[in-house]
Amino acid sequence: MPAKVKYGVIGSGMMGQEHLRNIALLPDTEVTVIFEPDVEMAEASAEFAPRAKFVNSVSELLDVEELDCILIASPNHCHIPQMEEIRQTRPLPLLVEKPLFTDPKDLAELDAFKAAYSAPVWVAMEYRYMPPIAALIEQAEGATGGVKMLTIREHRFPFLDKVGAWNRFNKYSGGTFVEKCCHFFDLMRLIMKCEPVRVMASAGQDANHKDEEYDGEQPDVLDNGYVIVDFENGSRAMLELCMFAEGSRYQEEVSAVGPEGKVEALVPGPGRFWPKDLGAPPVPQLVLSPRHPKGPREIEIPVDPVILHAGDHNGSTYYQHEGFVAVVRGEKERPDVTLEDGRRAVEIGLAAQKSARTGQTVSLTRNNLSSVAC
């Protein structure tokens, strides 16, 4: 058990810097080495990891002897190749950002990785750890009598600017329903405690990035849509996404309903985007509504301001790293979010991308992704 958990970080752009800020808050942890090829991002991240050494490749990072674990926070399409390089060179406990992969063609390599990797792998799914959503997950079964319908609504701002504009293109990001929404499909499986069988989607690019051009190419990512997911047990879930609704009081609203009642989580967006002239930003809430109510019960779920300030995900990145460090130390038996969880979340996202593109329902199988191949 290491006295101080020492991280190697691959990718310290916008999300990588959120990870760095949260690792800095954890006791007995340190970012020892960073690989970030973009000079501007590397200079910005040095503020949050002042003792870290910067290197020029994944290979150089893996040569640093004192590492205890690795975080991958690079662009989506880089995850699988970097994971494979780590597997072949030096398998260490690994936290890899979502989405785990972006294309069904990655599956053979992912399967080989899974079969041969000898250390724990935790797929980053921050939404599980947002305090109001964590409270909903804990309350869902008892408050509803068994969830039959789950609705996730995200009304938010457009994709932020990232290095090379990789998040503007399906070929790099996997598409909006993979890049942005695999978090939500992970929540659906977690709350329903069941596997999906069908995915139906309607979506478009109606407002964002339409006047942008990068190296002669125009962005092709969706900016709004609906996704309906049917599950093996007959329950169903729906995602409503709008990425030109930045004026919303709550960015995410999650509602789970069953024969005995309803439970809702209301999650504000990042505080740095809240208009200062409107006063204090809203506080996350959990709302419990029995079927025959005397009235809904609203419970405020505040987050430690220091943790809240360290990222744009309602404190969840900190809580996620707490769990990951416990795995690295041997205090926790296994990751909360496995490679299989990461795979299944992408599977639903790819199916949604295909359904939106073709106008057809996409059926899913338990054992492969052939049904959602592009």
Is the pLDDT higher at 120 or at 271?
120
Tell me, what's the pLDDT at 369?
Answer: 47
Tell me, what's the pLDDT at 266?
Answer: 97
**pLDDT tens column, 27-53:** 999 999 999 999 999 999 999 999 999
Last residue of a domain, one of 99, 126, 153: 126
Residue 328 lies in a domain: no
Same domain, 121 and 136: no
Same domain, 93 and 146: no
Same domain, 77 and 210: no
Tell me, what's the pLDDT at 98?
Answer: 97
Tell me, what's the pLDDT at 1?
Answer: 66
Same domain, 107 and 233: no
Mean pLDDT across 140-146? 95
Same domain, 80 and 165: no
Calculate the alpha carbon distances from 206 to 118, 209, 215 in Å. 45, 9, 22
Same domain, 304 and 248: yes
Calculate the alpha carbon distances from 219 to 109, 206, 215 in Å. 28, 12, 11
Q: 374 pLDDT exceeds 60? A: no
Mean pLDDT across 102-129? 95
**pLDDT tens column, 81-104:** 999 999 999 999 999 999 999 999
Tell me, what's the pLDDT at 71?
Answer: 98
Residue 372 lies in a domain: no
Same domain, 163 and 76: no
CATH number at residue 59: 3.40.50.720
Tell me, what's the pLDDT at 370?
Answer: 47
Q: Encoding tokens for residue 246? A: 């930045």
Same domain, 79 and 57: yes
Residue 294 lies in a domain: yes
Tell me, what's the pLDDT at 366?
Answer: 61
**pLDDT tens column, 255-302:** 999 999 999 999 998 888 788 888 888 899 999 999 887 789 999 998
Residue 208 lies in a domain: yes
Tell me, what's the pLDDT at 25?
Answer: 96
CATH number at residue 154: 3.30.360.10
Same domain, 109 and 210: no
Structural domain range at position 353 = 130-311+338-363
The 10 Å Cβ neighbour count of residue 109 is: 15
Least confident interval from 180-189, 287-296, 325-334, 338-347: 287-296
**How many folded domains does the chain comprise?**
2
For the chain, give the mean pLDDT.
94
Is the pLDDT higher at 371 or at 255?
255
Last residue of a domain, one of 97, 126, 155: 126
Residue 305 lies in a domain: yes
Last residue of a domain, one of 106, 126, 146: 126
Tell me, what's the pLDDT at 281?
Answer: 84
Mean pLDDT across 182-211? 97
**pLDDT tens column, 216-238:** 999 999 999 999 999 999 999 99
Residue 232 lies in a domain: yes
Q: 132 pLDDT exceeds 90? A: yes
Residue 324 lies in a domain: no
CA of residue 287 relative to chain centroid, distance: 24
Q: Does residue 111 sit in helix, strand or coil?
A: helix
How far is 345 from 127, CA to CA, in rounded Å? 13
Cβ–Cβ < 8 Å for 353, 177: yes
C-alpha radius of gyration, the chain, whole number: 20
Cβ–Cβ < 8 Å for 264, 287: yes
Instruction: Name the packing angle between helices 316-329 and 131-144 (round to 10°).
Output: 90
